[in-house]
A and B are shown apart, each in its own frame.
Chain A
Amino acid sequence: MSLALRVEELAKHYVLKSETVRALRGVSFDVPEGDYVAIMGPSGSGKSTLLNLLGCLDQPTSGNFFLRDVSIAQLNDNQRSEVRAAHIGFVFQSYNLIPQLTVVENIEVPLYYQGNLAPDQRSYCKQLAEMVGLGDRLRHRPTQLSGGQQQRVAIARSLANNPYFILADEPTGNLDSATTHDILSLFESLNEQGKTIVIVTHEDEVASRVKRVIRLRDGEIDSDTRN
């Protein structure tokens, strides 16, 4: 089975005036295509740091990181932007929709930065909205939607560029348990269709429904288990 991600001895040190914070101290793991992984760990263990690296938002201090077989670690800002636009789908805890845009327009944003605006993109984005159950809300603005609905829009948006994997940062952190259940079902169905998903989470409910859990502690992998 081919790999979606390969992480090799990835380390990130934050150099401050008085000290060096070693947020990640050499983490290695592989994520095969179609995997569904939760990254867990206590506060300060390095989850967000790892997520930023996997999302190509940051550069590692050392180690390497491959998306399929493309090495990411040494890319510059522009190239990382291109990788994000083409291959990564983001879902955030606080939804992070753009308030002045409508539902479809929000879903379109990644396509816009991808550089190849297909003429049928509008109908494609409508299909995505329908898939997450918001076909009747296309012209609404984010403020007119509930938290669960906003997160659905965000998931639809993360799919727009047909990414190698979806990177979700506490996607259910702001939702009640019923809505959390819905969102997890949505992720599950996406995973069944073959999407690779990596979720950073605190919640055991989430951890119990994924295929694999990686636990971090003090910037190192504490455990890596399959459900």
Chain B
Amino acid sequence: MILKRFFQTLRLGVYSLLLHKLRSGLAVLGILIGITAVIWLVAMGEGVSYQAQQQIKDLGATNIIVRSVRPAQQGSSASSGLFLEYGLLREDFDLIVSNIRRATSDVLEQIVPLREIKKEARRHDLNLDVRVVGCTPEYLDLNHLTIDRGRFLTDSDNNPPENVAVLAAEAAKSLFPLENPINQTIQIDADFYRIVGVTEDRDPTAAIGGSLDSQDYNLDVYIPLATLRARIGDMIFTSRSGSREGEIVQLSQITIGLKDLTYVDAISEIVRKIVLEKHPNKDVKVIVPKELLRQAALLRMMFNVLLILIAGISLVVGGIGIMNIMLATVTERTREIGIRRALGAKRRNVIAQFLVESVVLTGIGGGLGVAFGFLCKPTINFARDLVMEISPETANTLPTTILELQPIIAPWSIIASLLISVGVGLIFGMYPAYRAANMDPIEALRHE
């Protein structure tokens, strides 16, 4: 009964709108553009934040990373003359382990110390700048690396220290372009290392908001940490702007892997306390990916608020368009309003009639807007392919965020869009409908 009435009103509304196809179409267009914009912007925002979250998750949300940082150079007053000594110590590692064990038992999945140094690796006449990473066997799992050929380092490689190495994919390809690297040797400084394995390609992680530099794993050479200490030592020379400088660093990083996300906050508290005590001069920093995730979520929320603001403005503009059309319609149909009132229409019947019309307009706009919203992904991929094809140089200058952006259409944005478009119809249709309802029926009947 009520439903039937509603459908009758709806049909009438559609009829009347079809009478002015162009005008109705333009009004719909205003809403359509607004809604499409909402969905596209949200989809891109979700895509970007998903990327960021993935990158942080690659670090491991259950991990705590403690890293040595080179302090800012303080002119000639470098503490120990020629050598700058900073960063994590082996005793820090033991201290952290014992402190964690004492605080809560059985929360550690693994704890991995490592030392990394830029070196030149040589083989016959080939040489390559690599990152030598001294680590323990757990490093493989911790960084989601997989073995392509051979094996990774084992505990027995560390004790006693063996001269063995595992190459990353790119390093293997460069140093052994033709043959199988397994059981071949490479030279670093004066020492020779036997290759026991090769890892598979891994996408580099991006830099995360100043907390961590981007990491490219593909030019790594992994050797046992004990071997690194024995063969290369803590002391290294670097040539900076002509003059040679020395650094003494015991460990570059300690990665603490916890068994559960819930331990992260408490354990990071403990670690921070130790670091603050032992390294008050800020040559060690603690990075907690879980906290970065929280920050990313906050950033995403702020981004969404901004989007809603922009979308809100465009929808208000669309809504004003609707109001304009509806006012014109009401004036044009004054006579019809008079007739309907004479035949017994109450004020609220008239209001309902015009509100339905404006909601139909905005609803269609919203529906089409959602439909166009779904074109977001194909359109962006198409545009990107086009740029790549026409000028690959320009494409290469684009940040990876854009190159790898995959928009994600959020279900909530679709539901919100449809609700908002109906809401815009109601709000901006209200005044014209009231105007129609408050006409004097006698005047309206006399209207030409």
A-side residues, CB < 8 A to B, are 52, 55, 57-58, 77-78, 81-82, 84-86, 90, 92, 96-101, 109-110, 112-114, 117, 157, 161
Contact = CB atoms under 8 A, between A and B. Distances in A.
B445 A96 contact: yes
Nearest to A95: B339
Among all A-B residue pairs, the 5 with the closest Cβ atoms: A85-B344, A113-B344, A81-B346, A84-B344, A110-B343
B345 interface: yes
Contacts of B339: 96-98
B341 interface: yes
A57 B441 contact: yes
A96 to B, nearest CB: 5
A150 to B, nearest CB: 13
B336 A86 contact: no
Given A57-B342, A84-B342, A86-B344, A113 B442 contact: no
Given A98-B336, A100-B19, A113-B349, 10 more contacts: A55-B342, A78-B346, A84-B342, A85-B343, A85-B345, A96-B342, A97-B339, A99-B336, A100-B12, A117-B4
B1 A57 contact: no
B414 to A, nearest CB: 33
B356 to A, nearest CB: 14
A113 B346 contact: yes
Contacts of B1: 117
14 contacts: A52-B442, A57-B445, A78-B346, A82-B346, A84-B344, A85-B345, A92-B445, A96-B335, A97-B339, A98-B336, A101-B15, A110-B343, A113-B340, A157-B343
A77 B345 CA distance: 10
Contacts of A109: 340, 343
A100 B16 contact: yes
A110 B344 contact: yes
Contacts of B338: 96
A81 B442 contact: no
Given A96-B339, A100-B15, A100-B16, A114 B441 contact: no
A58 B441 CA distance: 9
B332 to A, nearest CB: 11
A99 B15 CA distance: 11
B135 to A, nearest CB: 79
A57 B444 CA distance: 11
B343 A113 contact: yes
Nearest to B437: A77
Contacts of B8: 112
B441 A78 contact: no
Interface in B325-367: 335-336, 338-347, 349
Contacts of A77: 346-347
B341 A81 contact: yes
B124 interface: no
A108 B291 CA distance: 67
B144 interface: no
B5 interface: yes
A157 B343 CA distance: 9
B246 to A, nearest CB: 90
A16 to B, nearest CB: 15
A205 B339 CA distance: 27
Nearest to B4: A117
A31 to B, nearest CB: 20
A99 B12 CA distance: 12
Contacts of B349: 113
A82 B5 CA distance: 17
A15 B340 CA distance: 27
Contacts of A82: 344, 346
A144 B111 CA distance: 88
A82 B345 CA distance: 8
Residue of A58, A92, A96, A161 ringed by the most chain B CB atoms within 10 A: A96
A2 to B, nearest CB: 23
Contacts of A81: 341, 344-347
Contacts of A85: 343-345
Contact of A90 (B12, B336, B343, B347): B343
B5 A117 contact: yes
Nearest to B438: A77
Contacts of B442: 52, 57-58
A98 B338 CA distance: 10
